[in-house]
Amino acid sequence: MENLLSALRAAGESTRLRIIGLLGHGELTVSELVEILRQSQPRVSRHLKLLCEAGLIDRLREGTWVFYRLTEEPKFKALIDVLVNNLSVEGPEVGRDLQRLAQIRDQHTDRANEYFSKNAAQWDQMRSLYVAEEKVEQELLKMADGHDVDAFLDIGTGTGRMLEMFADRAKSLIGIDLSRDMLTVARSNLEGKKLSNCQARHGSMYDLPVENDSKDLIVFHQVLHFADEPGLAIREAARVLKPNGMILVADFAPHDEEFLRSDHAHRRLGFATSEVEGWARSAGLALSASKSLKGKPLTVIVWQLTKS
């Protein structure tokens, strides 16, 4: 009873309610909330502290950044869902909040696209700076061994390397990417290797141009650390995954290499297995296996998610 009363008191204030509504659209940093709410950082930080103490939101420190997200605690989930679902976009404050949130997300996308545009030609070389790429590729192939694949999907396909790698294991392969420069490189590579069963399409990882329950195997290869909402990307992938299908995610373990944010447009500095497992569970998936590949200074983890 006391926990619920504390949560209700914490949520029962306009700014804190706006924060809950914003976090309903994905995790945000303090500076982003300050920009959206148009309030001072100390004031926003006080509101965040109260929400954390009440158990409604979680705080995640990652290098020099701190992310805030809605809690996954079952005892508060129903309350949070009611609050988020009943925040009307018709209200002027909430409407402005969502407009500013969209602007921030657009800025992230523009920065990433600019980065990809500049580096598209040497992308495969850049992705192998920390762990030998052949080791990552071998582990992806190993985890997919014995899995029947008719339809394959590569999300954030980049140069199309995953399509090329799995081309002899599937009948139909599609790679999705938001960067048109990357798609140009991918299509050129696929044409050069005469991989007629592969194609590259423009699209967002949050809104895949793919039918429900249509893919046997889906890969995220070094993609999610660029994402504003990696959990949402996993949920969208789960939508298009067939029953008994598999998702393979290759990305960095948690690290403190801040230059990857400033110089390489990374949004997140790696992921803990517990975080990936939480996304999987929320999407109706199970974490079936994981493998760490140690590098210097970074470690890559390959996670296997399955759909029953």
Query: What is the domain partition of the chain in residue ranges?
Result: 2-87, 128-306
Give the full edge-to-edge strand order of the sheet including 151-155: 198-202, 172-177, 151-155, 215-221, 241-252, 299-306, 286-294
CA atoms within a 13 Å half-sphere pointing along the CA-CB vector of 69? 17
Tokens at residue 183, please? 């798609």
Contact predicate 67/58, CB 8 Å = no
Q: Which fold has domain 128-306?
A: Rossmann fold (3.40.50)
**Lowest model confidence (mean pLDDT) among 103-107, 110-114, 205-209, 300-304:** 110-114
Three-state secondary-structure class, residue 65: strand
How far apart are the C-alpha atoms of 165 and 103, rounded to whole Å? 37
How far apart are the C-alpha atoms of 238 and 240, rounded to whole Å? 6
**Lowest model confidence (mean pLDDT) among 135-139, 279-283, 296-300:** 296-300
Three-state secondary-structure class, residue 227: coil
Mean pLDDT, the chain, rounded, equals 88
Residue 238's nearest CA partner among 270, 282, 174 is 282
Asked if residue 119 has pLDDT above 70, the reply is no
Give yes or no on whether 2-87 and 128-306 have one common fold.
no
Q: ∠ at Cα 203 (200, 209), nearest 5°?
A: 90
Candidates 3.90.220.20, 3.40.605.10, 3.40.50.300, 1.10.10.10; correct CATH number of 2-87? 1.10.10.10
Neighbours of 168 (CB within 10 A): 8
How far apart are the C-alpha atoms of 277 and 283, rounded to whole Å? 10
pLDDT, one tens digit per residue, over 269-296 is: 999 999 999 999 999 999 999 999 998 7
Residue 83's nearest CA partner among 1, 37, 14 is 14
Average pLDDT over residues 17-44: 91
